[in-house]
Structure 1
Amino acid sequence: MDDQFELIRSFIVVAQKLSFVEAADGLQIDPSALSRRIRRLEKRLGVRLFNRNTRRVALTEAGVLYLSHCQEVLAKLDQADAIVSHLSTEPRGLLRVTLPVVFGQRHIAPALSEFLNRYPQIDLDLSFTDRFVDVLEESIDVAIRVGQLQDSRLIVRKLASNRRVLCSSPFYLQKYGSPQTPKELEQHSCLNFSRLATGNIWHFSHQSQRIAIPIKGRLRADNAEALYQAVLGGCGIALLATYLVGDALKTGQLSTVLDDWKVPTTDVFAVLGVGQYTPSKTQVFVDFLVERFRDPPDWDVSW
């Protein structure tokens, strides 16, 4: 039975990654060993689960059907594990967490030694990425997300507010001038986050007035730290979270722009998968983060 579950879990990882190399890396085994597992499973079932060549891997019709049933079975097993672990007085086990790169590195990673010392039976597996991670499909215990949430099926805990400001370096503003209205941003180099839900449109409000401005610039990136370094270097004006630029604003390395105009505020959330029971390891981790961000953090105060 243990062998069967090992084969099934290996199959699911390959089906999710559609890459034997990436799946083997995630499972920490040799790709050739993983291939043997899949061939053994296919032989047991009497069907081919993958079509594969040197360039791509794809599920067969049988593979798609088998994947849906396997995920359902493993979800039941995870629920059973959660029910049992919930009875444990000491949280334990491997906790898989995904975090946005900058927020995770700056505001969560420094606290993890305290968490690990507090809960010596919990191991952490962290993935720092700005891509959208499906907590259900990728078997993630907790996902830290910044912005608007779409999936109402998930369990959500708010950690902090995510206030954003327009900012630029004094060098840039001295050279090109400071815009006095959002419309004037069209004449400036605006550095944009390429994963922004609104694309190259920035939204502003002032009292009852609402305006959307299409922006353009010589740099866009899918990493906020890269934009932060660029705006420090005088490359333009950026719309960035205060948890990233707060210190630079306090020291004068950056200055805010269009202070009378507000941009939409979002939040930082801890997102958990769906289930009747939340494992104690997951619960204590989220409670730890809520406790850490209970008081208004330094980045959220006015300068």
Structure 2
Amino acid sequence: MADQSRLDDNLAEQSGEAVAVYAAGAIPWRVRQGVLEVLLIHRPRYDDWSWPKGKLDRGETMPECAVREVREEVGVEGRLGIPLPATSYRVTAGLKLVHYWALKVPKSAVVRPDGSEVDTTHWCDVEEASTLLSNPTDVLPLRWLAEAYRRGELDTRPIILLRHAKAKPRASWTKAEGDRTLAASGVRQAAAVGRLLMVWRPERVVTSPWRRCVDTVRPYLSAARGQVKVRVNDKLTEASHSRRPEKAAAIVPALFDKRKSAVICTHRPVLPTLLAEFAARCEPGVESELPAEDPYLAPGEMLVFHVAVDGPARVIAAEQLKPFDD
């Protein structure tokens, strides 16, 4: 499972120096006539072949940066797939760290280089790409992507487990528990959650009806502009879960069976029950990386489970991510 802060610390420790530049990007891919193809970009400024990538803007997370760079450099709107190995190399400013994801290019997409950062693009197979790439470190995520394709684990859909944003303190709340609202910091956090969820654009939102959960997903629903199916489910409340946890647990296999991308928004006490259901559907090794101790997720934090599209609905990879914290 990818925990970005931990990965960054490990890479910095291995290199013996602090990271000076953070960047993110993606490897756009498609399958044409049974052959896996990837999209290379040519940058006239450096006269090199690379992947769409760039430095983080202020207020961005790594996944948001990756999606934006693909959109800006080649004009493709897509959602991120499985995480790929990060790469690091030295630039003038010092150590540069680049996070990568796979990104399936929709069949309807038209690739359009921006004409500034990128002057041309080139679809090719993995072997050709490995010879054209100018930076040897760019081959590592490519090989990882190709191996995932060979195993039938490249094409995935996300099912996301989200803990609601920071709420007003329970001890100071005198009204009904289901009406407890987000704190001021939680409102800002919910807006950041909405931006981060747009990276995967889940088609379904399943949420506890309690206000702090509904208000956490509201910004995403606004950004998605009515293209999301919403289900408010009482089984996800703290009260219902304490009486019948198996009812909450049943929500996870139901979403797997529907084979749609989704986000579940719930409360801290419900998390271990849902996590157990996800763990039972993980490929070997993935479940051992899931959080196992209270509080499992911080307010506004999420787990992105990448579920195989073909064959049995199993979790291929998982990422633990926080929205931008101002």
TM-score, normalised relative to structure 1: 0.25
Q: Pick the structure with greater CA Rg.
A: 1
Which structure is higher in strand share? 2
Higher helix share: 1
Task: Pick 1 or 2: higher relative contact order, CA cutoff 8 A, min separation 6.
Answer: 1
